[in-house]
Structure 1
Amino acid sequence: MTRPSQSSANDTESVPVVSKPWFVYLVRAANGALYCGISDDPVKRFAKHQSGKGARFFLSSPAVALVYTEACRDKSEALRQERLIKKLRKSAKECLVASWDLAT
């Protein structure tokens, strides 16, 4: 009787692990404020913000535009980048928005 072959540790090393890309994004509210968040689908997430769901931030002033996205390697990197962006002054965030406008 023969046993089915079992995978060796070397078999898994040859298969690259591809993680789903995540994004950090900025959304402009009607009052001009910028909201920073992360998502694996920023366009879909923006639609949620526009519908009034997804973040209490938009209860007082609705989401009007997705103004910046930045692709990240994985969720962990997106979270780190989000923390860095949230620490920036509004003028620095506006520079990110301006640079993204030029690139698109």
Structure 2
Amino acid sequence: MRIVINYTIKPVSVSAASALAANFLLLLFEIARSTTQNNMHWTVYILRCADGSLYTGITTDLTRRIKAHDAGKGARYTQGRGPFQLVHQEFYENRAEATKRELSIKSLSRSQKLELISAYSAS
């Protein structure tokens, strides 16, 4: 992504120039932060562990997160339970929505989770 900002600098005192530069940097940081947050998508995922158990989590980078689980650096629950199979994923625009969905999935019984997985894999 490329952001172009046209900004004209007029002659000012040194202290005014410092304040102007500081405000300009704050503006750039705010643009970068809001752009990053607005383009971030969250994934709610379910992994089937080698022992047959199911793990539910959220991330903004599913590939990186699964690699972390595989390396034993993911959630404490998944340590020593690999290899993993990705069996379900859903996408959300923000962390709040993803967290709510993660918690709702975690509150399901195992049989309800398996129904969810099979319903999505059938469609």
Q: Same fold (TM over 0.5)?
A: yes
Q: Which residue number corresponds to residue 105 of structure 2? A: 85
When you count helix as a share of all residues, which structure comes out higher? 2
Secondary structure in 2 aligned to 1:62?
coil
Match of 1:42 among 59, 62, 66: 62
Following superposition, the deviation at residue 19 of structure 1 comes to: 4.0
RMSD after superposition: 2.0
The amino acid that maps onto 2:104 is: L
Q: Which residue number corresponds to residue 51 of structure 2? A: 31
Residue 52 in 1 paired to residue 68 in 2? no
Q: Which residue number corresponds to residue 102 of structure 1? A: 122
Aligned residues: 90
Secondary structure in 1 aligned to 2:47?
strand
Unaligned runs of 5+ residues in structure 2 are 1-8, 11-34
Greater relative contact order (Cα < 8 A, sep 6+): 1
Give every structure 1 segment of 4 or more consecutive aligned residues whose post-TM-superposition deviation is greater than 4 Å.
Answer: none
Give the TM-score, by structure 2 length. Answer: 0.65
Q: Is the 8 A contact 2:43 2:91 kept in 1?
A: yes
Q: Who wins on radius of gyration, i.e. which is larger?
A: 2
Unaligned runs of 5+ residues in structure 1 are 5-15
When you count strand as a share of all residues, which structure comes out higher? 1
Note closer, same or farther for the CA distance 1:58–1:89 as it changes in structure 2 (3 Å cut): same
Percent of matched pairs sharing the same residue: 33
